[in-house]
Amino acid sequence: MIKHSSKWGLLLIGLFFTVLLAACGNSASSDDSSDSGKTSGNSTSNESNIRDVEHAMGTTTIEGTPERVVTLYQGATDAATVFDIDPEGIVESWVEKPIYKYLLDDLEGTKIIGEETQPNLEEIAALKPDVIFASKTRHEEIYEKLNQIAPTIAIEELYDFKGTVELMGDALNQQDKSDEILSDWNNRIEDFQTKATEKLVDEWPKNVSLINFRSDHARIYFDGFAGSILREAGFTRPKNQQEDVWGIKLSDKESITEMNADVFYIFMEDEPTVKETYDEWTMHPLWQKLDAVKNDQVYNVDQVTWNMAGGIRAANLMLDDLYDRFNLEK
C-alpha cells in the first residue's frame, strides 16, 4: 500500500513539472512572437512610409500615403487622374474653363482654387491637403507659404510630363504605378517609331515645324511639351530650328520661310483675331512655296492636348494623333 502511494506521488510531481514547463514555453514563445511582430512592423513603417522626395525646390520628407492632394499646374492635374486620385483642389484650366473637356469625366465638381499663376492660398489651406504639387516656374515665390500648408513637391519644367509622373509616384507612395505608366509610354513610343520606319522607309524621319498663330504674330516652337514628344517620337528639326531655346517669334510675313519643313503641326486659340492672322499668313505667296504646304502635309491640331495640358494623358492623346496622321495601327 505504501509502495503504490509513492508511485502515485511521483507521477503527480512529474505531471506538475511537465505542465509548468509547457506553460513557460508557450509564454516565452508568445512574448518572442509579440516582440518580433512589433520590430517587423516598425521596420516596415520606417522603410516604406517615410521617404525623402527630391524635387526642383529641394528635398521634402513625406510620411505615409497622402490622400488629400492639391495640384497647382495642369500637368499634375492630368497625371492625378492616371493615379486614380480625386484631387481636393485644382487650378483652373487655361481654356475650356474651368476643366479641360478630356478630364471632365474624372474631375467634374472638383474645387477650383484659383489660376495656375495665382492660386488662392486661403482656399488651399482650408482643404487641409496632405501634399501639394506645384511648379518652380509658377510658384517659386510662394513656395515657402505653400510648404507651410502642406509638404509641397515642385517640378522644374511645366512640360516635363514624365518628371511629373515620377514625382507623383514618389510622393504618393505609388512608385510601382509610376513605373508602369512610364513603361507603357516608352513601349508606345517604340511602337510608333517602328511602324513609322516600316511604312515610310526612306521618307522617315520627317522634319517638322510646330507652329502657333497669335493675334499679331506667329511662333515656331522648338521645345516644350509637344516639341519634346515629337523629338522622342523620332521627328527631326530643320537646321534653322536646332538652337537650344524655346523657339522663335515671327513678327512679319516675310519670315514665313523660317517655317519650312516636311510637316507642319499648327495649333492656335479659337479667337477671331487669331483666325484673321492665320488667314493672312496662309494666303501669302511665300506660304505656298513651303514644302509641307506643297505636299499637303499641314495639320491643324488641338491646342489643349498639344500645348496647354502638359500631362501624361495629353501626351498619349497627342501620340494618338500622330498614329492617325500617318495611318498607323495603334
Position 303 in a domain? yes
Give strand ranges (E) for the chain: 50-55, 58-63, 69-71, 89-90, 111-112, 114-115, 118-119, 131-135, 152-155, 208-213, 218-221, 247-250, 263-268, 298-300
Same domain for 229 and 319, yes or no, is yes
Residues 107 and 164 placed together within one structural domain of the fold: yes
253 in the same domain as 168: no
158 shares its domain with 236: no
* 6 occurs within a structural domain: no
Tell how strand 263-268 and strand 208-213 pair up. parallel
Q: Does any domain span residue 267?
A: yes
Q: Is residue 91 part of a domain?
A: yes
Peptide bond into 205 cis (omega under 30): yes
225 & 317 share domain: yes
Q: From 173, 189, 217, give the residue that closes a domain.
A: 173
Examine the fold and report which residue of 173, 192, 215 is the final residue of a domain before the chain moves on: 173
Does residue 165 sit in the same domain as residue 90?
yes
pLDDT for the residue numbered 184 = 99
For residue 118, being part of any structural domain is answered with yes
End-of-domain residue from the set 135, 158, 173? 173
Output phi, psi for 263, to 5 deg.
-135, 140
**Residue range of the domain that includes 268:** 200-325
46 part of a folded domain: no
Q: What is the pTM of this model?
A: 0.84
On whether both 158 and 204 belong to a single domain, the answer is no
Q: What is the pLDDT along the chain (330 residues), one digit of tens a residue?
A: 334 444 434 433 443 444 333 444 444 333 443 333 333 333 334 445 899 999 999 999 999 999 999 999 999 999 999 999 999 999 999 999 999 999 999 999 999 999 999 999 999 999 999 999 999 999 999 999 999 999 999 999 999 999 999 999 999 999 999 999 999 999 999 999 999 999 999 999 999 999 999 999 999 999 999 999 999 999 999 999 988 889 999 999 999 999 999 999 999 999 999 999 999 999 999 999 999 999 999 999 999 999 999 999 999 999 999 999 999 999
**CATH of residue 230:** 3.40.50.1980
| C-alpha triplet 282, 283, 284: angle, nearest 5° | 90
Q: Are residues 130 and 222 in the same domain?
A: no
Check whether residue 205 and residue 141 sit in a common domain: no
User: Is residue 38 included in any domain, yes or no?
Assistant: no
Task: List own/partner pairs for 153-159 with CB under 8 A and 24 or more apart.
Answer: 153/53, 153/55, 153/60, 154/55, 154/56, 154/57, 155/55, 155/56, 155/73, 155/75, 155/76, 156/55, 156/56, 158/73, 158/74, 158/75, 158/225, 158/310, 159/75, 159/223, 159/224, 159/225, 159/228, 159/310
Do residues 207 and 321 share a domain?
yes
pLDDT of residue 283: 97
Indicate if 163 and 225 belong to the same structural domain.
no
Residue 321 in domain? yes
Please state the length of the chain. 330
Predicted local confidence at residue 244, as pLDDT: 85
Q: For residues 136 and 156, give the distance between their C-alpha atoms in angstroms, rounded to a whole number.
A: 5
DSSP per-residue letters across 61-120: EEES---SEEE-SHHHHHHHHHTT---SEEPPPSSSTTS-GGGHHHHTTPEE-EETTEE-
Residue 242 grid cell: 536646332
- Burial code (b: 16+ CB inside 10 Å, e: under 16) for 223-253 equals bbbbbbbbebbbbbbbeebeeeeebbebeeb
Q: Under a CB-based contact definition with an 8 Å cutoff, are residues 47 and 282 in contact?
A: no
CA-only gyration radius of the chain, Å: 31
Q: How many folded domains does the chain comprise?
A: 2
Q: Are residues 137 and 242 both part of a single domain?
A: no
pLDDT at 242: 87
Order across the sheet with 247-250: list the strands: 247-250, 218-221, 208-213, 263-268, 298-300
Other C-beta atoms within 10 Å of 40: how many? 10
